[in-house]
């Protein structure tokens, strides 16, 4: 039987050195009185007031998602919104937020009928819950990630994925039974950007072995520990122009490069003899696996013993390569060839999935720093060298064509994997077992080629001049002209959500175009009451800017017959134009300047101008990263604000 509702518990939240005590109203039914108080508060909040200009990112986020009726925010909606930016609930960078949600849910130990992730919170609770991760969250909703419009990008990726799905060409590798038993229909694709935006589709959790995709990773460890000079005194940097397991060395009697079998076996010998000469084979295995794991942000890296045993069993060619290299004195002194070969087979037999590999690829795209854990795994110089070799040698004997057509560093493996790196943007991992005659995954290859024909990701695509390819990247600067076009377009089309985003991004919402037309003019002339309300109530734009013909927004609403907007604008004007009110906006004439493309009503000293949303650093939150940093907590509390324990049930009185 359902428990009776009882008075909501008093919550104590310790955050950012201040203690908040308040009632969580999340599931309390609203009485008429409550609603009246709420609307009174809202009425008050409509008045332009200095304090409101200082509202921080947490407040703006709350307003983006809160229900007008209840004054509460649905965390389900909020988390769904966060997901559209590419941030998942299990992202380590929002761990404190998720922990706080669980704690608040637990504290509300009266029957709520909702889960931790779907509960409704009031403003104060919401602010305290999101505070530890606000830097990352604000960045997400301000569209400041490398792929700002992640939803549109993902739609295009889905289209490419679906086209590749219908491609049934290629054959499974059959040199060992485990590979020949794969389902040829398996097709998975995962993306992780350098900002940790994630997208996955298809068979992304099906495990497969790393095979040749381990080669750039062991090479990276060797470079990190020994430096390029030492490593490349043993192995070259040239594409071999031959099969990946060809019994051939270059003219200096070195393996051609670390991406083919001979080169990778050589890299393994460097690990054994030079990087960790004192370690046992078991320790070197653990050591290597821990590097892979750190690169993947702790996601799935395992080991497939059956594949290892089969690899070792069916390894005549690899042993031949080993002996041939030993004969030619390729290995460092003290190399134990048997141990080296075993280590090579073990690296090929490590198990993973698309999800984990996309994070590894993203760590390579991100200069060696894992985007989800923010751990610096490799030095950027190491990554540059790894990507250079992947670019020229990563796809076997197709490498030249791949560099020509796709123009990006990649590494394929015989289990059907294709790791693609778009430096400084994202990592992609495609997995589908059927291979072409050169040993590359057919669907993976098609995906890479289609990707760069849709987006300007090819190394030599021109980013400056317009092309017929899409550019989903955020560029370091966006012209003011372009942003005002977007702002005015959002207002004219009645898109309140887009207006909210513009506001959250810190944009000056009072901007006017060449003709002195503001967002309010356009929203009013198109009859979008919601937008008009948002602009006045939340952005506090002046209600009376004049365009170059002297028209006010209210005139526009009247001209186009939107009486409900006219009514609202008139009553708003009455309210704010009362004498003796603080912060009254003056009547504004928006000057248009023939020699300037755009101007801002705030530039023209209108008052009160919309102040850009303070950055989290400005509003007292943690700067730098999306993760929390310790902030002193109240005395006696075990909580350190900004950590998951900022909501601490030890501090809850009255429960």
Smaller CB distance to ligand GLN: residue 212 or 363? Answer: 212
How many whole angstroms separate alpha carbon 447 and alpha carbon 455?
Answer: 12
Smallest gap, in angstroms, from Cβ of residue 414 to ligand GLN? 3
Structure tokens at 472: 């989903």
Smaller CB distance to ligand GLN: residue 245 or 257? Answer: 245
Instruction: Rounding to the nearest 10 degrees, give the CA dihedral for residues 620, 626, 632, 638.
Output: 140
Of the candidate residues 211, 518, 606, 651, the single one contacting ligand GLN (CB under 6 A): 211
* Contact between 318 and ligand GLN per CB under 6 A: yes
* Contact between 371 and ligand GLN per CB under 6 A: no
Smaller CB distance to ligand GLN: residue 348 or 641? Answer: 348
* Contact between 439 and ligand GLN per CB under 6 A: yes
Of the candidate residues 100, 261, 399, 601, the single one contacting ligand GLN (CB under 6 A): 261
Closest of 262, 212, 258 to residue 412, by C-alpha = 212
Smallest gap, in angstroms, from Cβ of residue 216 to ligand GLN? 12
Smaller CB distance to ligand GLN: residue 386 or 524? Answer: 386
Binding mask 133-172 for ligand GLN (x = CB under 6 A): ----------------------------------------
Smallest gap, in angstroms, from Cβ of residue 365 to ligand GLN? 22
How many whole angstroms separate alpha carbon 548 and alpha carbon 208?
Answer: 65
Binding mask 169-208 for ligand GLN (x = CB under 6 A): ----------------------------------------
Smaller CB distance to ligand GLN: residue 224 or 311? Answer: 311
Smaller CB distance to ligand GLN: residue 311 or 513? Answer: 311
Positions in 287-306 near ligand GLN (CB under 6 A): none
Provide the CA 586 distance to its chain's centre, in angstroms.
43
User: Cα dist. 606→542, 566, 587, 610 in Å?
Assistant: 7, 22, 8, 10
Q: What is the CA radius of gyration of the chain?
A: 30
Smallest gap, in angstroms, from Cβ of residue 431 to ligand GLN? 13
Smaller CB distance to ligand GLN: residue 108 or 212? Answer: 212
Smaller CB distance to ligand GLN: residue 412 or 621? Answer: 412
Beta bridge partners of 145: none
Beta bridge partners of 192: 198, 427
Three-state SS for 595-616 is CCCCEECCCCCCCCCCCCCCCC
Closest of 370, 338, 93, 333 to residue 220, by C-alpha = 370
Smallest gap, in angstroms, from Cβ of residue 293 to ligand GLN? 20
* Contact between 444 and ligand GLN per CB under 6 A: no
Q: Are 222 and 429 in contact (CB under 8 A)?
A: no
Binding mask 373-412 for ligand GLN (x = CB under 6 A): ----------------------------------------
Smallest gap, in angstroms, from Cβ of residue 319 to ligand GLN? 11
Structure tokens at 489: 């377009």
Positions in 407-426 near ligand GLN (CB under 6 A): 413-414
Structure tokens at 434: 């059927």
Smaller CB distance to ligand GLN: residue 160 or 266? Answer: 266
Of the candidate residues 348, 350, 451, 541, the single one contacting ligand GLN (CB under 6 A): 348
Smaller CB distance to ligand GLN: residue 52 or 245? Answer: 245
How many whole angstroms separate alpha carbon 295 and alpha carbon 5?
Answer: 48
How many residues bind ligand GLN (CB under 6 A)? The answer is 11
Smaller CB distance to ligand GLN: residue 71 or 439? Answer: 439
* Contact between 244 and ligand GLN per CB under 6 A: yes
Smallest gap, in angstroms, from Cβ of residue 160 to ligand GLN? 24
Question: What burial letters (b/e) apply to 385-411, b meaning 16+ CB within 10 Å?
Answer: bbbebbbbbbbbbbbeebbeebebbbb
Instruction: Rounding to the nearest 10 degrees, give the CA dihedral for residues 407, 411, 417, 418.
Output: -10
DSSP output for 390-440: HHHHTTGGGHHHHHHHT-S-EEE-TTSEEEEEETTTEEEEEE---B-TTS-
Smaller CB distance to ligand GLN: residue 322 or 413? Answer: 413
Smallest gap, in angstroms, from Cβ of residue 307 to ligand GLN? 8
Maximum Cα interatomic distance, the chain, rounded to a whole number of Å:
96
Smallest gap, in angstroms, from Cβ of residue 390 to ligand GLN? 14
Closest of 222, 287, 205 to residue 259, by C-alpha = 222
In the block, residue with structure tokens 């490349």: 232
Of the candidate residues 245, 358, 510, 633, the single one contacting ligand GLN (CB under 6 A): 245
How many whole angstroms separate alpha carbon 306 and alpha carbon 86?
Answer: 36
In the complex, the residues that contact ligand GLN under the rule CB under 6 A are 211-212, 244-245, 261, 311, 318, 348, 413-414, 439
């Amino acid at each position: 039987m359902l428990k009776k509702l009882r008075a909501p518990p008093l919550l104590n939240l310790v955050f950012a050195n201040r203690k908040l005590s308040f009632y969580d109203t999340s599931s309390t039914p609203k009485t008429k009185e409550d609603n009246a108080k709420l609307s009174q508060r809202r009425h008050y909040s409509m008045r332009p007031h200095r304090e409101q200009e200082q509202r921080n990112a947490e407040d703006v986020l709350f307003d983006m998602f809160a229900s007008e009726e209840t004054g509460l925010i649905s965390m389900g909606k909020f988390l769904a919104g966060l997901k559209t930016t590419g941030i998942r609930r299990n992202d380590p960078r929002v761990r404190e937020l998720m922990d706080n949600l669980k704690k608040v849910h637990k504290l509300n130990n009266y029957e709520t009928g909702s889960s931790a992730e779907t509960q409704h919170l009031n403003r104060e609770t919401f602010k305290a819950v999101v505070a530890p991760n606000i830097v990352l969250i604000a960045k997400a909703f301000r569209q400041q990630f490398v792929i700002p419009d992640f939803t549109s990008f993902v739609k295009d990726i889905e289209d490419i994925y679906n086209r590749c799905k219908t491609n049934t060409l290629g054959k499974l590798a059959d040199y060992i039974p485990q590979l020949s038993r794969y389902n040829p229909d398996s097709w998975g694709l995962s993306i992780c950007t350098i900002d940790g935006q994630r997208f996955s589709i298809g068979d992304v959790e099906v495990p497969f072995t790393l095979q040749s995709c381990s080669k750039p990773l062991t090479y990276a460890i060797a470079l990190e520990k020994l430096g390029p000079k030492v490593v490349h005194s043993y192995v070259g940097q040239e594409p071999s122009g031959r099969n990946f397991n060809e019994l051939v060395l270059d003219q200096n009697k070195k393996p051609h490069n670390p991406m083919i079998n001979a080169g990778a076996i050589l890299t393994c010998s460097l690990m054994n003899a030079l990087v960790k000469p004192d370690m046992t084979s078991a320790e070197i295995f653990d050591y290597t696996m821990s590097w892979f794991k750190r690169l993947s942000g702790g996601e799935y890296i395992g080991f497939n013993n059956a594949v290892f045993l089969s690899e070792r069993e069916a390894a005549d060619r690899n042993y031949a390569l080993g002996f041939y290299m030993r004969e030619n004195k390729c290995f460092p002194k003290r190399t134990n060839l048997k141990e080296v070969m075993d280590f090579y087979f073990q690296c090929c037999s490590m198990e993973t999935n698309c999800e984990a590999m996309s994070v590894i690829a993203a760590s390579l795209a991100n200069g060696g720093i894992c985007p989800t854990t923010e751990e610096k795994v490799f030095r950027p110089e190491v990554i540059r060298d790894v990507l250079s070799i992947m670019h020229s040698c990563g796809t076997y004997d197709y490498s030249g064509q791949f560099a020509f057509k796709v123009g990006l560093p990649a590494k394929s493996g015989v289990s059907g994997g294709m790791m693609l790196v778009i430096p400084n943007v994202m990592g992609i991992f495609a997995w589908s077992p059927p291979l072409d005659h050169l040993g590359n995954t057919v669907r993976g290859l098609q995906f890479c080629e289609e990707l760069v024909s849709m987006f300007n990701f090819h190394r030599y695509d021109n980013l400056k001049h317009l092309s017929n390819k899409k550019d989903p990247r955020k560029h370091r600067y966006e012209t003011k002209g372009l942003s005002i076009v977007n702002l005015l377009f959002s207002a004219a089309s009645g898109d309140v959500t887009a207006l909210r985003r513009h506001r959250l991004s810190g944009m000056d919402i009072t901007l006017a175009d060449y003709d002195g037309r503001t967002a309010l003019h356009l929203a009013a002339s198109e009859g979008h009451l919601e937008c008009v309300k948002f602009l006045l109530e939340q952005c506090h734009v002046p209600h009376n800017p004049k365009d170059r013909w002297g028209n006010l927004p209210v005139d526009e609403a009247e001209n186009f017959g939107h009486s409900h907007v006219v009514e609202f604008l008139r009553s708003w004007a009455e309210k704010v134009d009362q004498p003796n009110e603080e912060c009254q906006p003056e009547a504004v004439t928006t000057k248009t300047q023939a020699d300037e493309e755009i101007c801002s009503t705030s530039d023209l000293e209108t008052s009160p101008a919309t102040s850009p949303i303070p950055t989290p650093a400005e509003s007292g939150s943690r700067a730098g990263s999306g993760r929390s940093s310790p902030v002193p907590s109240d005395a006696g509390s075990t909580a350190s604000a900004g950590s998951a324990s900022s909501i601490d049930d030890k501090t809850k009185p009255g429960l």
